Amino acid sequence: MKKLWSGHLNYAFAVVLTFSLVVATGCSFLPPIPLRAPSLPAPATPVPSPEPPQSQAPPQSGVSQGSPIDSSWKAPTLGSGPIPGIPTFADIVKVAQESVVSIQTEGIVSDIFLQPVPQRGAGSGVIIDPRGYIVTNNHVVEGATQIKVMLNDGRSFDAIKVNRDPATDLAVIQIDGANLPVAKLGRSDNLRVGDWVIAIGNALALEGGVTVTVGIVSHTKRTIQEQNGVTLYNLIQTDAAINPGNSGGPLLNVAGEVVGINTAIAGEAQNIGFAIAITPSMPVIEQLITTGRVVRAFLGVSMVDVSSSLIARYNLTVKQGALITAVTRGTPADKVGLQRGDVVIAFDGRKITKAEQVVEIIRSRKPGDTVDITYVRGASEFKTQVTLAETPNR
């Protein structure tokens, strides 16, 4: 599980707070303040010093020990099920956990002396097809030379193929097995904030089976940037506990359907985890299975959100949109005359208020698709059509 930001928040906060106090007062670290025991009222008469204890027989308390209390007593019958009115996810988990797998990887990395050293990792995945297709995170299997998959029923398989897409942090592993349990897939675009969700995975690589946690959908369509610089879109935020080793495992709805792939946690926060939404991920998963790589549409611009500071700096005449900061030569954007400083206010029929909206639309289209663009240059509004190209290999 990727941490977006490093942990140890409590320790860091204490150090910063202490340092701030030192700077503010100009003092060195203060010694502990001695604590005095509270004073007791003086006794009415002098109290003699206690005499040393002398051995004596234990007092006879009159309480019998070790003898039966009631030889005819029988233990009452225990409850037979869940408490009425309180939901249980046990039946959902019993079925869903069979399709959740634990993944162990081995690879070679270089140490500080540039010498090769072995590296091991652990993560999770979910079987989506009886032919052995398993969805997981790219960061779980990236750089791995050996990948072992363990099922909940105890079976173990070596991966025979793996295809990855770093741009979405998704990967598909193939194993060769029979009678494989398959997860049910749901629709993440039907989720609402407050809906129950269930996270299942190989948390901390603990032995004995998968770990199950429960929470709610805290937000939908989050955008985060991972430590490697990759920006992930359309994420589900949840307070269901997601721990290292959960990466690649499923996030389920209360119907037991996969609605997300757990991918990241906010290291300096509590109960903030993220899962890749399954609905927009299916085209990526399909391409990884059918072609081995993901082909994406490409426009050829860099953009940022229009802000109050940019409006003042560039004398923009619009309050919202995506400001083009660069246009790559020879790209579709360059061919239709888009320029640095143009503000895109509509793209493919949708109003644009943020740059990430353009990125999401382009990701949903294919090379060769034609889209309409409305943009503002200076005080004038223009419209054009552009045919998207294929993202060049880097």
**Coil, strand or helix: which one is 42?**
coil
CB 153 within 8 A of CB 98: yes
Report the domain count for the chain.
Answer: 3
The active-site residue, picked from 218, 247, 281, 342, is: 247
What pLDDT is stored for residue 268 in this prediction?
A: 79
Taking the mean position of all CA atoms in its chain, how far away is CA 159? 24
Is the confidence at residue 337, as pLDDT, over 90?
yes
Q: What is the pLDDT of residue 270?
A: 85
276 and 305 in one domain?
no
pLDDT digits (tens, 9 = 90+) for 340-366: 999 999 999 999 999 999 998 998 899
Query: By residue range, what is the domain housing residue 213?
Result: 184-290
* Same domain assignment for residues 279 and 348: no
340 and 385 fall within a common domain: yes
pLDDT band at 20 (very low <50, low <70, confident <90, very high): very low
What is residue 195's predicted lDDT score, i.e. its pLDDT? 96
Q: Supply angle C-alpha 40, 43, 46, rounded to 5.
A: 130
The three-state DSSP-derived secondary structure of 47-106 is CCCCCCCCCCCCCCCCCCCCCCCCCCCCCCCCCCCCCCCCCCCHHHHHHHHHHEEEEEEE
Of 174, 206, 225, the one marking the end of a domain is: 174
Q: Is 70 a catalytic residue?
A: no
The CATH number covering residue 313 comes to: 2.30.42.10
Lowest mean pLDDT among 23-37, 152-166, 213-227, 260-274: 23-37
pLDDT in the model for residue 349: 95
Mean pLDDT of 217-221: 95
200 lies in the same domain as 285: yes
For the residues of 150-201, what is the DSSP string, one character each? E-TTS-EEE-SEEEEETTTTEEEEE---SS---PEE--GGG--TT-EEEEEE
pLDDT at 14: 40
CA-closest candidate to residue 320, choices 341, 339, 345: 345
Look up the CATH number of the domain holding residue 241.
2.40.10.10
pLDDT score of 367 more than 70: yes
DSSP 204: G
Q: State residue 30's pLDDT score.
A: 33
Residue 47 above 60 pLDDT?
no
Q: Which of 99, 102, 124, 139 is catalytic?
A: 139
Pick from 175, 176, 178, 260: which is nearest to 220 by CA?
260
Is 51 among the domain residues? no
Has 247 been annotated as catalytic?
yes
pLDDT band for position 84 (cuts 50, 70, 90): low
> Does position 35 have pLDDT exceeding 80, yes or no?
no
Q: Is residue 33 part of a domain?
A: no
Q: Which residues pair with 152 in a beta bridge?
A: none
Q: Which pLDDT score, from 0 to 100, does residue 165 have?
A: 95
Under a CB-based contact definition with an 8 Å cutoff, are residues 126 and 252 in contact?
A: no
Task: Tell me: do 209 and 282 sit in the same domain.
Answer: yes
Please check whether residue 80 lies inside any domain of the structure.
no
- Same domain flag for 232 and 192: yes
Give residue 79's pLDDT.
66
- On whether residue 349 sits in a domain, the answer given is yes
The domain boundary residue, chosen from 119, 142, 174 = 174
Q: Show the tokens assigned to 165.
A: 């897409």
pLDDT of 38 above 50: no
Residue where a domain stops, chosen among 174, 208, 231 = 174
Confidence of residue 329 (pLDDT cuts 50, 70, 90): very high
In a domain, 261, yes or no: yes
Residue 61 CA to residue 99 CA, distance in Å, equals 62
Residue 28 has pLDDT above 90, yes or no: no
Instruction: Tokens 């054009």: give the residue.
Output: 384
pLDDT tops 80 at residue 91 = yes
Q: Compute the C-alpha angle 115/121/125, nearest 5°.
A: 145
Write down the pLDDT at residue 56: 53
Helix (H, G, I), strand (E, B) or coil at 233: strand
Give pLDDT, residue 78: 73
Listed residue (171, 189, 337) closest to 247, CA to CA: 171
In a domain, 220, yes or no: yes
Q: Is the pLDDT of residue 333 over 90?
A: yes
Catalytic pick from 99, 102, 165, 169? 169
Domain identity same for 219 and 312: no
Q: Give me the chain's average pLDDT, please.
A: 85
**pTM score of the predicted model:** 0.72
**Amino acid in position 302:** S
**Helix, strand, or coil here: 200?**
strand
The answer to whether residues 200 and 237 belong to one domain is yes
Structure tokens at 379: 């005080």
Do 166 and 220 have their domain in common?
no
The number of angstroms, rounded, from the C-alpha of 220 to the middle of its chain's C-alpha atoms is 13
Q: What is the pLDDT of residue 313?
A: 92
Nearest to 259 by CA among 274, 246, 276, 284: 276
Is 275 a domain residue? yes
Cβ atoms 333, 353 nearer than 8 A: no
**Residue 246 and residue 193 share a domain:** yes
Question: Per the domain annotation, does 82 fall within a domain?
Answer: no
Residues 191 and 285 in one domain: yes
Establish whether 169 is a catalytic residue: yes
